[in-house]
């Protein structure tokens, strides 16, 4: 049995090597992005572990078929960038890691909310521009306990976010197309997303990307939000219209945004050895705003998450290559 992992970051390597040693399985790894051209490195392997934000395309799965590779185990949750029909057409089984560390992402969302509500960006901007500090009305923040937090999506991550925001004393409301039943968490569902948007001081997104929620947060949505409200997106970039977000921030339609994921993310985001400068005009523009915290899709990035992403992905490959079924199959 032999596997290969693509788009490997340096922090994943110790966990890959340990898993290979513990399971006595040859696991190669490469920092290369998985494409039809780079798939040649996987010749002779029984399965592939992948982690990337760019598409897993039909051409790629046709190349899988050509090389006789039947298994792709993602090291992440999202499958919106995977052509699942093409995988099926080429007899490729896909698995993901549905819960590598929900608390890591939820913690990061709360971290962003605290940063923005306490106006840390304004303090940092003053220090950069003037090399001095002085108290300013711009620095006056609000307690989380004074605010209503709206959680969009009450899956594993959303439920952890509810717990954390409740721990800080916030009133928490939530919206989900498929509400959970018999929850012991202290929150209330709203009857519609619009109700949540109009009531919330902080809105935190925790749903997967779908065709239905593409650009769900757009100019019309931002007009519904309070002009003192903050948007946190640790979910998927496609949910938020970036142009409309920038306009809303510049015009004062909303007060701030924590953005961990943007539209059209490049492969460099997952490359721990990349030294390329950021050239995306929207990312640069957002990074210059004191009411924005923008990060490189790193909400998940804790020791526990990385260990679980590697271990679960490779365990799924081992099970599939051994002829067993796995709970994490997505196609």
Q: What is the DSSP letter of 253?
A: S
Domain boundaries defined on the chain: 2-100+303-321, 102-294
In tens, the pLDDT along 5-36 reads 999 999 999 999 999 999 999 999 999 999 99
Nearest C-alpha neighbor of 206 from the set 73, 78, 294, 312: 78
Which residues face 28 on adjacent strands?
4
In this predicted structure, the answer to whether residue 214 has a pLDDT above a threshold of 80 is yes
Q: Does 102-294 carry CATH code 3.40.50.720?
A: yes
In this predicted structure, the answer to whether residue 90 has a pLDDT above a threshold of 60 is yes
Length of the chain: 331
**Common-topology check for domains 2-100+303-321 and 102-294:** yes
Region 275-283 average pLDDT: 85
Region 321-327 average pLDDT: 95
Phi-psi region of 242 (alpha: psi -120 to 50; beta: other; left: phi over 0): alpha
Over the chain, what is the mean pLDDT?
94
Region 44-56 average pLDDT: 94
Region 281-306 average pLDDT: 95
In tens, the pLDDT along 92-111 reads 999 999 988 999 999 999 99
As a whole number of angstroms, the longest Cα–Cα distance in the chain is: 66
pLDDT at 272: 57
Which residues, 6+ apart, have CB-to-CB distance to 279 below 8 Å?
Answer: none
pLDDT at 278: 84
Q: First-to-last CA distance in the chain?
A: 23
- Tell me the pTM: 0.86
pLDDT at 194: 98
pLDDT at 266: 72
Cα distance between residue 280 and residue 200, in whole Å: 30
Q: Cα–Cα distances in Å, from 40 out to 44, 55, 90, 144?
A: 9, 18, 17, 52
Percentage of the chain surpassing pLDDT 70? 98
Cα distance between residue 283 and residue 267, in whole Å: 15
Return the CATH architecture of domain 2-100+303-321: 3-Layer(aba) Sandwich (3.40)
In tens, the pLDDT along 106-153 reads 999 999 999 999 999 999 999 888 888 887 888 999 999 999 999 999
Cα distance between residue 21 and residue 67, in whole Å: 26
> pLDDT class for 274, splitting at 50, 70, 90?
low
What is the separation of C-alpha 193 from the centre of its chain, rounded to a whole number of angstroms? 21
pLDDT at 314: 98
Look at residue 188 and give its three-state secondary structure.
Answer: strand
Cα distance between residue 254 and residue 229, in whole Å: 5
Region 72-89 average pLDDT: 95
> pLDDT class for 264, splitting at 50, 70, 90?
confident
Helix residue ranges, H only, the chain: 13-23, 58-67, 84-89, 102-117, 120-130, 156-167, 193-199, 219-224, 242-251, 281-287, 303-321
Q: Which residues are catalytic?
A: 236, 265, 297
């Amino acid at each position: 049995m032999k596997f290969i992992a693509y788009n490997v970051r340096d922090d994943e390597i110790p966990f890959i090597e340990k898993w290979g040693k513990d399971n006595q399985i040859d696991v190669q790894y490469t920092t290369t992005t998985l494409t039809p051209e780079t798939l040649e490195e996987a010749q002779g392997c029984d399965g592939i572990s992948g982690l990337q934000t760019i598409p897993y395309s039909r051409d790629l799965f046709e190349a899988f078929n050509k090389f006789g590779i039947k298994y792709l185990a993602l090291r992440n949750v999202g499958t919106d960038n995977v052509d699942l029909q093409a995988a099926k057409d080429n007899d490729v089984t896909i698995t993901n890691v549905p819960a590598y560390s929900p608390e890591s992402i939820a913690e990061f969302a709360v971290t962003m909310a605290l940063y923005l509500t306490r106006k840390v960006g304004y303090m940092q901007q003053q220090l950069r521009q003037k090399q001095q500090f002085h108290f300013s009305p711009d620095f006056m923040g609000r307690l989380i306990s004074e605010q209503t937090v709206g959680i969009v999506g009450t899956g594993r991550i959303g439920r952890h976010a509810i717990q954390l925001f409740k721990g800080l004393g916030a009133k928490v409301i939530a919206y989900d197309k498929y509400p959970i039943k018999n929850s012991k968490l202290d929150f209330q569902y709203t009857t519609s997303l619009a109700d949540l948007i109009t009531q919330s001081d902080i809105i935190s997104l925790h749903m997967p990307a779908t065709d239905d929620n593409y650009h769900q947060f757009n100019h019309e949505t931002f007009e519904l939000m309070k002009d003192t409200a903050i948007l946190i997106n640790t979910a998927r970039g496609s949910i938020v219209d970036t142009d409309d977000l920038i306009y809303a921030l510049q015009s004062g339609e909303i007060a701030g945004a924590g953005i961990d994921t943007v539209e059209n993310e490049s492969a460099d985001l997952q490359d721990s050895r990349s030294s390329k400068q950021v050239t995306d005009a929207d990312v640069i523009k957002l990074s210059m705003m004191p009411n924005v915290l923008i990060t490189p899709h790193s909400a998940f990035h804790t020791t526990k998450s990385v260990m679980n992403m590697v271990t679960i992905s490779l365990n799924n490959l081992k099970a599939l290559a051994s002829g067993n079924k796995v709970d994490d199959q997505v196609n």
